Amino acid sequence: MDVEGQRPFGRAPQAWKGALLAAAFLLAGCAQQTPVAIAGAQVEAAAKDAPTPTLGLEGEGSQPSATPAPTLPQVGRQYETSRPAVVWGTRLSRLPTTRKVVALTFDAGANADGVPSILRTLQATGTPATFFLTGKWVQTYPQLALEIGHGYQVGNHTYDHPYLPQLPDAAVRKEIVAAGTMIASATGHDPRPLFRFPYGDGDARTIAIANQLGYSCIQWTVDTKGWRGISGGQTVDSVVSRVMANLEPGEIVLMHVGSAGDHSTLDADALPRSIAALKAQGYSFTTLTS
């Protein structure tokens, strides 16, 4: 469960950063995407003693082949028809491109207070985005999940947002598989290959499990901290300022759809200004797999 305003979404410890050769991510089927040629990736390695990771393309054999991922319901318009290869052993913290593009991402695991405003803004501005949903969230808000699935890319954020490194292997798999099935059923989209760790907290073991289930692990370039709310010292200005202060080609922005403990929805409120400010700097928007 996302806990905006209750428990911080701190950035996971960064043991080291390494270079990763990555293959081109194929167009995932979103209606309004800006294609990005993926040539290399800025990624976070999971542990100090982990070997320098490489991208295991299907058929290459440079990494162990993934165990078969569970069969998910075939409902609605599916992304898996053009699913990119899994990025092995790392968490991507930005899209590897020199083009002036930004990927807006929204985590959904607590409430849905900001969703109507966020969807209105995205639709009005023609901006693509990716939503990382928990299984419990789509169970609680099935109509909103369906609406998100109709127009936007979705990713897996586990079933109920636990700290995965604290769980045994079987429980980690259960969290990811259960969420994937629920998200596919609720949105009409298989969330693979997009997975985001709750709290950004993953290690070599849990990254490997996610990879084996068909997922690449997506971190972020900047956390807006909007989830902290006004009572946590944040404002619309601070959200926009963080987005712009970390601006670079391929920036991945982390926002949240829910309100903070004080019921403020700063990420939703700041979204129109953030989009306008990014456009003013000559940036356009993309999804994570385009």
For residue 41, give every residue at least 6 positions away whose Cβ sits within 8 Å of its Cβ, in sequence order, or none: 19, 20, 21, 22, 55, 87, 90, 92, 94, 95, 96
Q: Report yes or no: 210 and 188 within 8 Å, Cβ to Cβ.
A: no
> For 193-216, b where at least 16 C-beta lie within 10 A, e where not — what string?
bbbbbbbbbbbbebbbbbbbbbbb
Inter-residue contact 134 to 161 (CB < 8 Å): yes
Q: Could you tell me the two tokens for 93?
A: 């913290």
How many angstroms separate the CA atoms of 57 and 268, rounded?
37
Neighbours of 104 (CB within 10 A): 27
SS3 59: coil
157 in catalytic set: no
Among 107, 190, 267, 269, the one annotated catalytic: 107
Which residues, other chains included, contact 63 with Cβ-Cβ below 8 Å and sequence gap of 6+?
53, 54, 55, 56, 88, 89
256 annotated active-site: yes
Angle, vertex CA 95, rays to CA 267 and CA 106, nearest 5: 25
Cα–Cα distance measured from residue 188 to residue 159, given in angstroms and rounded to the nearest whole number: 17
Contact present, 50 and 162 (Cβ < 8 Å) = no
Dihedral sign, Cα of residue 58, residue 48, residue 243, residue 238: positive
Candidates 2, 161, 256, 269; catalytic one:
256
Catalytic positions, written as ranges: 107, 256
